Structure 1
Amino acid sequence: MKPIVLLTTLTLLFSPLPAAATGETQFKKRCSKLSKSFHAANTDILLAEYIARGTNITLPEPAARCPTSFISLADMCRLRLKVTTSSTSRVIVEVFMPTNWDSKGKRFLMTGNGGLGGCIQYNDMTYGTSLGFAAVGHDNGHAGDTALPFLNRPEVVKDYAWRALRTAGQVGKKAVNHFYPSSIKKSYYIGCSSGGRQGLKAAQEFPEEYDGIVSAAPAVYFQSVIAAGGQIFKIVGPPGSPTHLNQNQWNAVHQMVIDQCDGIDGVLDRVIEDPMKCQPRPEKLLCGPGQTWDSNQCLTAQQVLTVRKVYSPIYGNDGKFISPRLNPLTKEFVGYLFMYGGVPSYISEGWYKYALYNNPTWTIANDFNWNTVDDDFQQDLFGVGTDKTDLKAAKNKKTRILMYHGLADCLISSENSYRYYESVSRDMGLPSSQLDKFFRFFPIAGLDHCTSGDGAWFVGGSVQYSTAGALDVDPSDGVLMTMVKWVEQGIAPDTLMGRRLVGGNVTSEKAHCRHPLKTTYKGVGDPNLASSWECRTA
């Protein structure tokens, strides 16, 4: 019997390994060899390693306001690069390449940034790899969500404005095409806020880089967004000033808006389908003679005027239009922390201080005025305004653009996106029936800035996948795969499916209609069901 045992043992030892095991081994070897095999101009390889699905990666040097770790959602190869963009600037690029890329469509996904742009969006990247995309992220030319690296370094500002995005996209594609046996078939982009602006910058200046661009809550008209952040502080003032409202008072304002506007769309759900129809009257909260906040939960005349100014458009020198009003129904806690809390917006102050004026002593409290805003518009550093409305190149390249914006956004007014869409329509001479062949806009009622909200806010978009329960939602009708269907199958979306996630559970659904159609309650049926809503002409 011993020879039989020996024969069996030898058979096991010298039998070919299963194809899956062989493929995995080869994948790991190719990944580890990237540090020597991959070459790109002005590029240093910082890391090349295989990461198994479920691995928790702690980042050794987390930057200000940036993630400190991420969890891999796919078996993948991670490549980290440093690309020199000038003698005084560089971009850190991460490339995640999953094992199943070839079988999942050979797709490339570029992710955007947020705020002042120095954080890699690892959550967007890992989600992309879970769907089989080779995903790329970058730090937009500096570490951390801070403007300090801009000080006396115009090349870093240039990276922030557009160059880091283009550089990362190009080197990322080169890495993906080098690593896999076959080449990229389709390229996509997804980003929100500053990332939304980056997406539209690509559509305006280098649309040939992407087949599909998803731009959420874009900070286009960049100088307007920055100016609004400065002016809100001037309107509200610091704690203790007669114009200031504390968080409880803003909560009362929030409820006042709900009481006055929630029923406009026919459903009492703390969500406004068309904020344009909502004109809040804060005088409802005005104290009468002898009344106070402590005794009657009311506001002084100066505080009421603060609310009215916050919910009014902003005009500068010579009556020049600067920015639309803040959305009338923002989530009070986010709004309070970032806009009403008695401290200037770090984004606005950082931009003026370190990028525009290169003056560390400059402050919004002491130095901001309409001349500041005029200076910013006039200089338009490296085209950061991102206000070009001629998208002919994108149209001719057949680049698809899907823009969406939360109608409860507390940081960037959703009216900014309406303004951009309509300006593109006018300037290109294209009515919606023609413009929508390559550029569609979806207003999302009940969505705050990029994520969260009281409505069906979850659309599978940028930065939304850190929410509990998000990964359990079928991705097939999420915004990214919706874009894939538009690009690869020619199925243009008329609606964007949204869901409300509470405690990890879906509590309502709604198919948000593309502008200029209006998402309208049918008048009957459970408003938490998508079937109770329809798209109607305005």
Structure 2
Amino acid sequence: MKPAVLLSTLSLLFSSALAKKNPTFERRCSKLTESFNAADTDILLAEYVPQGTNMTFPESATTSCLKFSISLADMCRLRLNVTTSGTSSVIVEVFMPTTWHSKGKRFLMTGNGGLGGCIQYNDMTYGTSLGFAVAGHDNGHAGDVGLPFLDRPQAVKDYAWRALYTAGKIGKSVVNHFYPSSINKSYYMGCSSGGRQGLKAAQEFPEEYDGIVSAAPAVYFQSILAASAHVFKTTGAPGSATHLTQDQWNAVHQMVIDQCDGIDGVLDNVVEDPLKCQPRPEALLCGPGQTWASDQCLTAEQVLTVRTVYSPVYGNNGKLISPRLSPLTKEFIGYPVMYGGVPSYISEGWYKYALYNDPTWTIQNNFTWDTVDYDMQQDLFGVETAKTDLTDAKNNNTRILMYHGLSDCLISSENSYRYYESVSRDMGLPSSQLDEFYRFFPISGMDHCYSGDGAWFVGGSVQYGPAGALDVDPSDSVLMTVVKWVEQGIAPDTLMGRKLVDGVVTGAKAHCKHPLKTTYKGVGDPNLASSWECRTV
């Protein structure tokens, strides 16, 4: 659904809600500027927001962050500035709906993305539609850029973990102050950098959350940065012999589908298990006298680019830096970041401003494998997020649900397999015992966090918006799935996904938890969940 259509639909849907009044709730909300006090905290805004209101955000005026979001509940909105050090602070937003008591008295913390300066307002409004009191934060700086890290190590510390911890603490304090009764259960949901934040919480302060949803987590953070820089050094800038245009990468994607789609037993433009897919890009190689313009083929240099990008990344002394990227590149959420012939703003922003504090540093001129070694040695404030002993989370009964799209063009889904298996080995727990508190769901046909050719819509972080479907029953969404696990003891064996075309559901699939494989039964419409089952091979 297009943004303008979505806005019009929601405005009509919620127009009647604008007339609703709850005088006591509204008064309590407006008086928060006087009644709520916390150390090192300034209240910037306290206002009642009726359902259907088009909210705009002050940090968005000069940044790449979301410009507006439509409230999906009558709620109280509180905006705070929390000082974290003499040179750093965090902006925190808290949305508290009128339905909180009747919907379970739950708290939800949301994550960030990229370099982490944008509050995920759509995740927040979605949470309030389900009755959660929801908090979000800017991770210690405005905008998804690295410049605020320059000569400000405390801002880097906020990004690595402190902003999340601080926002969670103050958010819970606000909620417990505002409502007459206290929070029943606390949850976290985030994707990409937000997925990393969720696992950071599981590793370092699991007592803060009863349930954590971590999607496409950017764990092994330095490895991901290195892989992105390596892709740019491999593809080169537009016009170079090694560079591929977006149309050429689309042809590569189709080549992968042609070679690997049938492995899972059904031709549906989705590779169910990319681990089994070893594409041969030489199939696109131009013969003598052939060109892309006339024959839709690639030069030998371009074929080598594809093979290099779809291979594991090794650094100094043959050290494995990162698994290969997914060999599926159609959706190109990450084309400008990964394949477009410019350095990743995430990688370059980190190296330039956080690691080296040198505005003249560039990936083009300065990146080597020594850069990666130095970054890993420094591991600023533990941002790598690679701790695999989750004993504290297990003992706290924190439930961790991790999922990753298998068509992710930014963060290799093999990264999540790598982390899961490392946790299993290091804790000495086979999957049957790890299942008690930590489950991983690979999602075929999902790109980075959202979109794709498969049943990618699981009701997760950043999936609600122009590309998502607000009218899908949320009862089996990933958020409510982890709620059922925490509060009813119903552990998920599958995670329901929907295939969306222009916001309309056209198919469904119950994605199996690892290490089981989502397997076509051999008969039936592949767009029906009933045509698939979980098997050991």
1:356 is the counterpart of 2:368: no
Residue equivalent to 1:229: 228
- With over 3 angstroms needed to count, the CA separation of the structure-2 counterparts of 1:469 and 1:416, relative to structure 1, is closer
Alignment check: 8 A CA contact 1:344 1:364 kept: yes
Residue equivalent to 2:82: 83
Residue equivalent to 1:498: 497
> In structure 2, how many angstroms separate the alpha carbons of the residues matched to 1:438 and 1:240?
50
Q: Secondary structure at the match of 1:326?
A: coil
Cα deviation, residue 501, structure 1: 1.0
> In structure 2, how many angstroms separate the alpha carbons of the residues matched to 1:248 and 1:131?
41
The residue type paired with residue 182 of structure 1 is S
The residue type paired with residue 179 of structure 1 is F
Give the unaligned 5+ runs of structure 1: 1-20
Residue equivalent to 2:197: 198
Q: Secondary structure at the match of 1:355?
A: helix
Alignment check: 8 A CA contact 2:249 2:329 kept: no
1:47 corresponds, among 45, 54, 62, to 45
Q: Secondary structure at the match of 2:198?
A: helix
> In structure 1, how many angstroms separate the alpha carbons of the residues matched to 2:346 and 2:242?
22
Judge which range, 528-537 or 285-294, deviates more: 285-294
> In structure 1, how many angstroms separate the alpha carbons of the residues matched to 2:123 and 2:238?
37
Where do residues 81-160 of structure 1 align in structure 2 (5 Å cutoff)?
Answer: 81-160=80-159
Deviations 1:168-193 (A, max 9, x none): 00000000000000000000000000
Residue equivalent to 1:278: 277
The residue type paired with residue 293 of structure 2 is D
Alignment check: 8 A CA contact 1:442 1:496 kept: yes
The residue type paired with residue 145 of structure 2 is T
Cα deviation, residue 504, structure 1: 2.0
The residue type paired with residue 58 of structure 1 is T
> In structure 2, how many angstroms separate the alpha carbons of the residues matched to 1:498 and 1:104?
24
> In structure 2, how many angstroms separate the alpha carbons of the residues matched to 1:331 and 1:296?
20
Residue equivalent to 1:30: 28
Q: How many percent identity over aligned positions?
A: 81
Judge which range, 329-338 or 165-174, deviates more: 329-338
Deviations 1:362-388 (A, max 9, x none): 000000010000010000000000000
The residue type paired with residue 331 of structure 1 is K
Alignment check: 8 A CA contact 2:147 2:349 kept: yes
The residue type paired with residue 428 of structure 1 is M
Deviations 1:482-530 (A, max 9, x none): 0000000000000000001112210000000000000000001111100
Cα deviation, residue 22, structure 1: 12
The normalised TM-score by structure 1 is 0.95
> In structure 2, how many angstroms separate the alpha carbons of the residues matched to 1:147 and 1:433?
41
The residue type paired with residue 133 of structure 2 is A
Cα deviation, residue 23, structure 1: 8.7
> In structure 1, how many angstroms separate the alpha carbons of the residues matched to 2:477 and 2:294?
48
Where do residues 457-468 of structure 1 align in structure 2 (5 Å cutoff)?
Answer: 457-468=456-467
The residue type paired with residue 233 of structure 1 is F
Alignment check: 8 A CA contact 2:331 2:452 kept: no
The residue type paired with residue 70 of structure 1 is S
> In structure 2, how many angstroms separate the alpha carbons of the residues matched to 1:34 and 1:49?
9
> In structure 2, how many angstroms separate the alpha carbons of the residues matched to 1:333 and 1:435?
34
Where do residues 157-306 of structure 1 align in structure 2 (5 Å cutoff)?
Answer: 157-306=156-305
Residue equivalent to 2:14: none
> In structure 1, how many angstroms separate the alpha carbons of the residues matched to 2:136 and 2:292?
48
Residue equivalent to 2:512: 513
Tell which structure's C-alpha radius of gyration is larger: 1
Alignment check: 8 A CA contact 1:314 1:322 kept: yes
Residue equivalent to 1:386: 385
The residue type paired with residue 412 of structure 2 is S
The residue type paired with residue 430 of structure 2 is P
Give the unaligned 5+ runs of structure 2: 1-18
The residue type paired with residue 223 of structure 1 is Q
The residue type paired with residue 222 of structure 1 is F
Residue equivalent to 2:447: 448
> In structure 2, how many angstroms separate the alpha carbons of the residues matched to 1:23 and 1:310?
57
> In structure 2, how many angstroms separate the alpha carbons of the residues matched to 1:420 and 1:428?
12
- With over 3 angstroms needed to count, the CA separation of the structure-2 counterparts of 1:314 and 1:429, relative to structure 1, is same
> In structure 1, how many angstroms separate the alpha carbons of the residues matched to 2:399 and 2:245?
44
Q: Secondary structure at the match of 1:29?
A: helix
Q: Secondary structure at the match of 2:22?
A: helix
Deviations 1:433-487 (A, max 9, x none): 0001000000000000000000000000000011356110000000000000000
Q: Secondary structure at the match of 1:93?
A: strand
Cα deviation, residue 339, structure 1: 1.1
The normalised TM-score by structure 2 is 0.95
> In structure 1, how many angstroms separate the alpha carbons of the residues matched to 2:504 and 2:357?
47
Q: Secondary structure at the match of 1:92?
A: strand
The residue type paired with residue 339 of structure 1 is M
Alignment check: 8 A CA contact 1:254 1:332 kept: no
The residue type paired with residue 31 of structure 2 is K
Alignment check: 8 A CA contact 1:250 1:336 kept: no
Q: Secondary structure at the match of 2:453?
A: coil
Cα deviation, residue 334, structure 1: 2.7
> In structure 2, how many angstroms separate the alpha carbons of the residues matched to 1:169 and 1:306?
44
> In structure 2, how many angstroms separate the alpha carbons of the residues matched to 1:455 and 1:481?
21
- With over 3 angstroms needed to count, the CA separation of the structure-2 counterparts of 1:86 and 1:361, relative to structure 1, is same
> In structure 1, how many angstroms separate the alpha carbons of the residues matched to 2:420 and 2:198?
14
Alignment check: 8 A CA contact 1:190 1:480 kept: yes
> In structure 1, how many angstroms separate the alpha carbons of the residues matched to 2:83 and 2:267?
54
Alignment check: 8 A CA contact 2:117 2:145 kept: yes
Cα deviation, residue 338, structure 1: 2.2
Cα deviation, residue 135, structure 1: 0.2
Residue equivalent to 2:6: none
> In structure 2, how many angstroms separate the alpha carbons of the residues matched to 1:227 and 1:535?
35
Runs of 4+ in 1 over 3 A off after TM superposition: none
Cα deviation, residue 340, structure 1: 1.0
The residue type paired with residue 495 of structure 1 is T
Cα deviation, residue 335, structure 1: 4.1
> In structure 2, how many angstroms separate the alpha carbons of the residues matched to 1:29 and 1:477?
35
> In structure 2, how many angstroms separate the alpha carbons of the residues matched to 1:372 and 1:462?
32
Alignment check: 8 A CA contact 1:91 1:164 kept: yes
Cα deviation, residue 69, structure 1: 1.0
Alignment check: 8 A CA contact 1:247 1:332 kept: no
- With over 3 angstroms needed to count, the CA separation of the structure-2 counterparts of 1:469 and 1:22, relative to structure 1, is closer
Residue equivalent to 1:56: 54
Judge which range, 330-339 or 168-177, deviates more: 330-339
Cα deviation, residue 293, structure 1: 1.6
Alignment check: 8 A CA contact 2:85 2:154 kept: yes
> In structure 2, how many angstroms separate the alpha carbons of the residues matched to 1:291 and 1:313?
30
Alignment check: 8 A CA contact 2:250 2:329 kept: no
Cα deviation, residue 357, structure 1: 0.2
The residue type paired with residue 527 of structure 1 is P
Residue equivalent to 1:18: none
- How many residue pairs get aligned? The number is 518
> In structure 1, how many angstroms separate the alpha carbons of the residues matched to 2:27 and 2:153?
41
